[in-house]
Amino acid sequence: MLEGKVALVTGAGPNIGGALAKALADAGATVGCNDISEGAAIAAVESLGSGKGIPLVGDITDEDQAEAMVQTLVDEYGRIDILVNNAAVTVPHGLLETTLEEWNRVLLINLTGTFLMSRAAARHMKQQATGGSIVHIASTSGHRGRADALGYCTAKGGVLNMTRAMAMDLAPYGIRVNSVSPTKTGISVGNLESAGDRFFAEIPLGRLGMPTDHASAVVFLSSDQAEFCTGIDIRVDGGALSTWGLPPRALAELTSSGKDA
């Protein structure tokens, strides 16, 4: 499906990022695996199995490093066709507790990093004149508010509208920009909750998301099968955003567990 394509995945460490990189490689793409941790970037490449890829160690919030990572991939393989902006961070604080330093860090990584990587990749895609695909990993938290996640909700809401704005900017060059909104999946962003500790009764399909759920959507949006899709968001959330409040099953579970509904 993606034979001959060259992709770059940011935050390609454990959980969703590694699954995205492997799914793209399994579909035939060569994948640059970015992480700020050298060990995580190397491990992501090793997890590709028979797929081709290289580690790209760098800070997506640094303009020079963002451009250098894209250039390294282009120098190695001659092009870049797909960018997946997955790197993210959160702080478990609400309005009254969030410090300015925490606020700036969450927006810097989730929003500014996405902007810098997209701009660097899109400039090369434009020069190649063969189009391309940029996929942002958003979140159900960007569609609605929740307590103790002010910076993350704000940043992911920005990612959703950034997707639409970038899609308009890049449509003349055949570069498509879309997003995927996961719900709770495995460990939380920042390893704040383990998979076993995460409460998911509010998800109508009755389980946490799996990294492969989101990877399938990313592969689709990166492929020619989605050639007429731009500016859209695919919600891979088990129906979470279709609900209003908690379904009866979730309320029953909350009551029986002693949690405050």
Q: How far apart are CA 126 and CA 132, in angstroms?
A: 8
Asked about 152 being catalytic, the answer comes back as yes
Question: What secondary structure letter does DSSP report for 154?
Answer: H
> Among residues 77, 115, 152, 200, which one is catalytic?
152
- Chain-centroid distance of CA 254 in Å reads 30
Alpha-carbon distances, residue 93 vs 81, 90, 202 (angstroms):
37, 9, 21
Specify the amino acid at residue 40. Answer: A
Whether 25 and 52 have beta carbons less than 8 Å apart is answered as: yes
Token pair of 102 as six digits: 């925490």
Edge-to-edge strand ranges of the sheet holding 233-236: 53-57, 30-35, 6-9, 82-85, 132-137, 175-182, 233-236
Three-class secondary structure of residue 138 per DSSP: coil
What angle is formed at CA 147 by the lines to CA 149 and CA 191, rounded to 5 degrees?
45
- Which active-site residues does the annotation give? 152
